[in-house]
Amino acid sequence: MLVKSKNTSNFRDGSIGSMKKNKLFRSAKLSNLEDEDLDILEKNKIFKIIDLRDPVEIEKAPDNLSSNLLKKYINLPISANTLSRMADAYHNCNFQENETIYENVMKKSYEFYLKNHSEVWKKFFTILLESNGKPVIYHCSAGKDRTGIASYLIQSLCSQKEELIFDNYLLSNQLLNQRYATAEQKYTLKRNKKMTDLMLKVIGQVKLDYLKKTIEKFKEQNIKCGFKLVRGAYLEKESHNAFKNGNISLINKTKEKTDEDFNNALKICVENLDSVSICCATHNEKSTNLLIDLVKQNNILNSDKRIYFSQLFGMSDNITFNLASEGFNVIKYLPYGPIKEVIPYLIRRADENTSVKGQTSRELDLIRTELKRRSVI
């Protein structure tokens, strides 16, 4: 725990399951932080503090941050007017209220948070990608709804089990004092709007149905992710950036660990093929055979357009042509760019061909056989 629970609510690690710990922190507003908390945040080299509240909320209770932490602060506003919508629903129902009416408003608010703030989410994930392993804190007022959706998006993209994601989401009901949660909403109520105790009861807690309905809407939009899986393509660039910015290098220390991560990524993508398309760009025979096996095990057609293989032009033609002959989608690609960048890239690709025992000698034997067939030698 980075900060004392008495100084803020719902502060916790946003990582679950197999995700790396102490990299993502979710919270309610940070307006009550004390000097001791600020010192801890400074020492942990927080990369960014992302505030998802709208300007009205921030004006009422700005984050209490040091001058240095303010440089890392960014506001990505998502409008919070759920209580006003509840008041409208109360009026439209001739002041005959029940929980279902207000719960439907909550579901609509979740959909609004996701659907109407695409630029916010784009910037949000850009910041996460730029963090290079440094901790990021993200929060709203109570840390349960907008922050809950943000956590769901992160955790699902990291292929965490749905039950773990839901348990993490519902944890807000235990960590949040309902009185605190409702208090955070009161000042978002527009003038001349009537507020009732039942409204505050509903808005003060999270329900799994809110998140599930949002997920359904998300899936209805048929949003897909495309991944090109490569091995070491940005080695020099990432190492240089990490050194230049004083960040932790994300480069694996061994080739074996890189191979392990690459193959695990293939498995994750195939497991989520309903929402993912992949291009497996490799000259590694073991990884290629692994994906072929995964296709067979999951009864996927070789020609399925969601799966592509790719090799460099002039390299590993034996892999390329054999894949094509079996009906797999396979392409050749040509690198281009400054010599100082292309040469190290091509050297790594050649090195990859030699990293698997016997792979290079097999390729050379195939080349000799083909040259003999053509009566060249």
Give this prediction's pTM: 0.64
Helix (H, G, I), strand (E, B) or coil at 181: helix
Give me the CATH number covering residue 308.
3.20.20.220
Strand partners, 25: 13, 137
Rounded CA gap, 255 and 319, in Å? 21
Rounded CA gap, 45 and 333, in Å? 40
Based on the fold, state whether residues 14 and 116 are members of the same structural domain. Answer: yes
Give me the CATH number covering residue 82.
3.90.190.10
Based on the fold, state whether residues 233 and 148 are members of the same structural domain. Answer: no
Residue 273 domain boundaries: 225-373
End-of-domain residue from the set 152, 185, 220: 220
Based on the fold, state whether residues 215 and 240 are members of the same structural domain. Answer: no
End-of-domain residue from the set 220, 250, 265: 220
Based on the fold, state whether residues 230 and 186 are members of the same structural domain. Answer: no
End-of-domain residue from the set 220, 242, 271: 220
Q: In what order do the strands lie in the sheet with 276-281?
A: 225-229, 276-281, 307-312, 329-333
Rounded CA gap, 88 and 107, in Å? 15
Based on the fold, state whether residues 203 and 350 are members of the same structural domain. Answer: no
Based on the fold, state whether residues 64 and 211 are members of the same structural domain. Answer: yes
Based on the fold, state whether residues 252 and 204 are members of the same structural domain. Answer: no
pLDDT tens track of the chain, all 377 residues?
Answer: 566 656 788 899 999 998 988 899 999 999 989 898 899 898 888 999 999 999 988 998 999 999 999 999 999 999 877 766 777 776 777 667 777 888 888 888 888 888 888 889 989 998 998 887 789 999 999 899 999 999 999 998 887 888 999 999 999 988 876 554 455 555 555 555 566 777 777 777 788 888 888 777 767 766 677 888 988 656 666 666 666 666 656 677 788 888 888 998 899 889 888 878 999 999 889 999 999 999 999 999 999 999 999 998 888 888 999 999 999 999 998 888 888 877 877 776 666 555 555 556 666 777 778 778 777 66
Based on the fold, state whether residues 233 and 315 are members of the same structural domain. Answer: yes
Based on the fold, state whether residues 141 and 256 are members of the same structural domain. Answer: no
Based on the fold, state whether residues 156 and 125 are members of the same structural domain. Answer: yes
Count how many domains the chain has: 2
Based on the fold, state whether residues 362 and 282 are members of the same structural domain. Answer: yes
Based on the fold, state whether residues 177 and 246 are members of the same structural domain. Answer: no
